[in-house]
């Protein structure tokens, strides 16, 4: 294994070396799928922006599609509420969330 981020992670002891054909094949498929999803998301964002522009910001209907929108209330910024700045909010926190991330080394 060449010196890389993988070696740094292994040296820290917070990763297990899974350098085997099956693990690497699954990781490669996940990486490929993430790239496809990113490309698709970029296309969705681009065409949504173009259609919004073409619709002049108004809900619109064509021959086969309707392009509408909803407006949701914004999030509450708890950090600016004076009484909450003095409170311990930890007892109200939800449980931990695990997020996995695949990085190309």
Q: What confidence category does residue 1 fall into, taking pLDDT thresholds of 50, 70 and 90?
A: very low
Question: Does residue 98 sit within a domain?
Answer: no
Question: Does residue 3 sit within a domain?
Answer: no
pTM higher than the cut 0.75 = no
Question: Does residue 97 sit within a domain?
Answer: no
Domain that residue 33 falls in: 19-92
Q: Which two tokens stand for residue 42?
A: 């970029």
Question: Does residue 47 sit within a domain?
Answer: yes
Question: Does residue 101 sit within a domain?
Answer: no
Question: Does residue 100 sit within a domain?
Answer: no
pLDDT in tens, 18-63: 878 899 999 999 999 999 999 999 999 999 999 999 999 899 999 9
* Domains contained in the chain, number: 1
State the SS3 of the chain: CCCCHHHHHHHHCCCCCCCCHHHHHHHHHHHHHHHHHHHHHHHHHHHHHHHHHHCCCCCEECCCCEECCCCCCCCCCHHHCHHHHCCCCHHHCCCCCCCCCCCCC
Q: What confidence category does residue 103 fall into, taking pLDDT thresholds of 50, 70 and 90?
A: confident
Question: Does residue 41 sit within a domain?
Answer: yes
Question: Does residue 31 sit within a domain?
Answer: yes
């Amino acid at each position: 294994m060449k010196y890389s981020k993988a070696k740094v992670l292994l040296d820290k002891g917070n990763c297990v070396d899974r350098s085997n054909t099956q693990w690497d094949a699954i990781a490669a498929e996940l990486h490929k799928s993430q790239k496809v999803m990113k490309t698709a998301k970029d296309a969705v964002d681009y065409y949504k922006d173009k259609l919004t522009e073409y619709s002049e910001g108004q809900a619109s209907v064509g021959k086969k599609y309707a392009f509408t929108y909803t407006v949701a209330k914004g999030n509450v910024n708890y950090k600016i509420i004076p009484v909450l700045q003095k409170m311990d909010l930890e007892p109200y926190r939800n449980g931990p969330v695990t997020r996995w991330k695949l990085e190309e080394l």
